[in-house]
Structure 1
């Protein structure tokens, strides 16, 4: 699908115009739905809390039992990324909530045979690989980890090619990653969040025979590979325009946006924390009438599935939509709950909604007639808007002006 020529201007003088012209060199990355996906709301919630280091602060009453998570069900969308020369192809979680690129190495299955389920990077097959001795490790709140060593090589996604990209080769993965359907992570967060650190940058760049980019986001900007320092995200939800003819159930567009995916004009909101894609929420209402008296900051995170709120706010919203707290399952509501209306978020003088039908998720096993709520809780004080929100609202991540543009998606 060609992107219509359009010039989109923000509503404030501090943010300049973005030219959305596909012919100028924008690049689309089709996002593929996980064919083996089975909804698992409890797992989504627990995965989110692990990601942000809050899960260990939950009491059994707040979330029920700590689930044994079938993590492959947490990944609904992934992009195809090539690493090396010739490229070795990987299914990667394209995640605005993290900043690093990593994939399994050939050594991974030596420590756990489950790793053989994934595509593993073979450095002997790449003519451009530069392996570094620097160890690398990412730790999560529950003690789960990914570790290995750093490497530098060429990466390809869509029609973009980046030379000398730093990435992690995972020699060891904890079970949550070994059981995941994706091979690794393609972080699109800010460099300040990165865990990939080269001990001797000059020495490494001498081996690579050129500058090394530590994150994909910095690579795109430093090498001026796209016509504008932005990327747009659309995730299909079954009631919008048909899926992209090039394949996939969603897309990331680097260097431009697709105006056919949303209604009206984009509202741009400034980033409130340069560590995350985090913006301010001025208010929350149910069905445009019931004021929840909720405001604060939220992280727009493509790597999270649910709507995550501080505990008191999650309790207030869930009660308003008819959900109850089950001691074993967390927040659940009748599957035949009202699906007309919306949960509305006031941001930057505009309203962005999530349809009520998207707040009712899969049926709870062994609890006939009850389904999981898409609203879950965190002991932290920052909200997290994941794919439930993004499926209802087109998102533009503006790197140059440190802002996020939002507009309701166009529906059939």
Structure 2
């Protein structure tokens, strides 16, 4: 073997270990990358919190219901964007056009910016745009797409093409090409959103992409799972795993909870409470949605008032976010979520985000008010799932939770 051949072999081995953390029994795991959030970056640049709040402080209105090589599982790499949210990379078309997208369990449709987006749409200008003329597998659809996000209009039209995610290619995936992208995407790393809710959340011409995957790859078990690494000392972020449960990402037993609100990944919580003294926030039970597209925990208004009073949080002017005195973080009480007679807890430091704004050190809570469209629902986003490895089981319509490893 000559030196050139030897160095080529070494390069191949290095690339293998760089991009796959585990590869046994057809299991492929790709590490997540952690990025500082745009929410944090804007504050650190000295932009007034009220201005940042106008961009990030409002809620996204969730949509309302309306032959291949056999694979058994796959994993896609996620990255962080905006306020501690994760995104992953996908390809659309042939040859593939690369996009960063949020994998959101509270959405049904998929969308990315379109090449037809106006140059004067500044949010579009900052993102990758899908160009149907470059793809040999493009199929026109042209049905209009329009929705309102945080009071801002988003519009476009549907198209169909091949989706490449991980090592999987999904033919005839229908998604929206966005020609009018809201300004809330100005500072986001992600180009779009790929919904992972149930089909009733999607438009009648499209389908959530995971359902297209399991239709075209029948050997893949009908589950997916999220691991979100909460260790701030590393850039490794976590994984979205298709068709498998990764034992290295959790300890202890998995608690399975039946859904009670399909098409959302919604469960019944027995109660939420603090101890010493006992303070129950939903003593007679309440419903909660698991939302991988959000980093926060949304709380009904009455419960949020009780919660903030208990932890001593106060509103940040011009935003919908609350903060506490940083010297009190280690003294904050643990909050307990009882679900299916099993208790899941978050310590004070686990529901606080620390942000430096100029010379000031701020400690913002993960709790925000539930949107007016869903005022009685709790939403468990990344602030909860950082602590608990989360399994989404389509066939059995259940959520699995286990203590996540760092």
TM-score by length of 1: 0.77
Stretch deviating more after TM superposition (170-179 or 344-353): 170-179
Go from structure 1 to structure 2 and tell me whether the alpha carbon gap of 1:220 and 1:381 turns closer, same or farther (over 3 Å shift): same
1:6-405, aligned counterparts within 5 Å? 23=25, 25-26=26-27, 28=29, 30-35=31-36, 37-39=38-40, 43=53, 49-52=59-62, 73-74=82-83, 76-140=85-149, 142=151, 144-195=152-203, 197-198=204-205, 214-224=207-217, 227-238=220-231, 248-286=236-274, 290-294=278-282, 295-325=285-315, 328-329=318-319, 330-339=321-330, 342-363=334-355, 371-378=363-370, 379=372, 380-405=375-400
Q: 1:27, 1:229 → 2: CA distance? A: 17
Q: Which digits, 9 at most, give the CA deviation of each residue in 1:152-198, with x for residues without a partner?
A: 11111111111111111111112123443211111111111113x33
Tell me if structure 2 keeps the 8 A contact 1:31–1:78: no
- Change in 2 beyond 3 A, CA 1:168/1:225: farther
Range with greater deviation from structure 2 (384-393 or 327-336): 327-336
Counterparts of 1:30 and 1:168 in 2: how far apart (Å)?
28
* Larger CA deviation: 102-111 vs 264-273: 102-111
Alpha-carbon distance, 1:44 to partner: 10
Q: Deviations over 1:287-318 (max 9, x none)?
A: 58734242301111011111111011111112
Does the Cα contact within 8 Å between 1:30 and 1:252 map onto a contact in 2?
no
Secondary structure at the counterpart of residue 263 of structure 1: strand
SS in 2 for 1:264: strand
Following TM superposition, by how much is the alpha carbon of 1:324 offset from its aligned partner in structure 2, in angstroms? 3.0
- The SS at the match of 1:33 is coil
Give the structure 2 partner of residue 208 of structure 1: none
Aligned residue pairs: how many?
A: 354
Any idea what the Cα deviations from partners look like across 1:384-404, whole Å, max 9, x if unmatched?
111100100110000111110
User: Per the alignment, in what secondary structure is the counterpart of residue 217 of structure 2?
Assistant: coil
Distance 1:256 1:291, change over 3 A: same
Q: 1:370 to 1:182 in 2, by over 3 A?
A: closer
TM-score by length of 2: 0.78
Task: Tell me the equivalent position of 1:67.
Answer: none
How far does residue 116 in structure 1 lie from its aligned partner after superposition?
Answer: 2.2
Write the deviation string for residues 342-399 of structure 1: whole angstroms up to 9, x where unpaired.
2211111211122210222235859956532222212500001111001001100001
Q: Is the 8 A contact 1:44 1:304 kept in 2?
A: no
Instruction: Give the C-alpha shift of residue 136 in structure 1.
Output: 1.6
Q: Quick check: 1:267–1:350 contact (8 Å CA) kept in 2?
A: yes
- Structure 1, unaligned runs of 5 or more: 4-21, 54-71, 199-212
Unaligned runs of 5+ in 2: 1-20, 44-48, 64-80
Does the 8 Å CA contact 2:82/2:187 hold for their aligned counterparts?
A: no
CA contact (8 A) 1:298 1:382 kept: yes
RMSD between aligned residues:
2.9
Task: Summarize deviations over 1:199-226 as a string: whole Å, max 9, x none.
Answer: xxxxxxxxxxxxxx62202202212355
CA–CA distance in structure 2, aligned partners of residues 48 and 395 of structure 1: 26
> What displacement does 1:146 show?
2.2
| Cα distance change of structure 1 residues 51 and 369 upon mapping to structure 2, 3 Å threshold | same
Rounded to whole Å, the distance in 1 between the matches of 2:160 and 2:28 is 23
Once residues 317 and 288 of structure 1 are traced to their aligned partners in structure 2, the CA distance between those partners, rounded to angstroms, is: 14
Structure 2 Cα separation of the partners of residues 395 and 337 of structure 1? 30
Please give the alpha-carbon distance, in whole angstroms, between the structure 2 residues aligned to 1:218 and 1:236: 26
Equivalent-residue separation in structure 1 for 2:166 and 2:276 (angstroms): 40
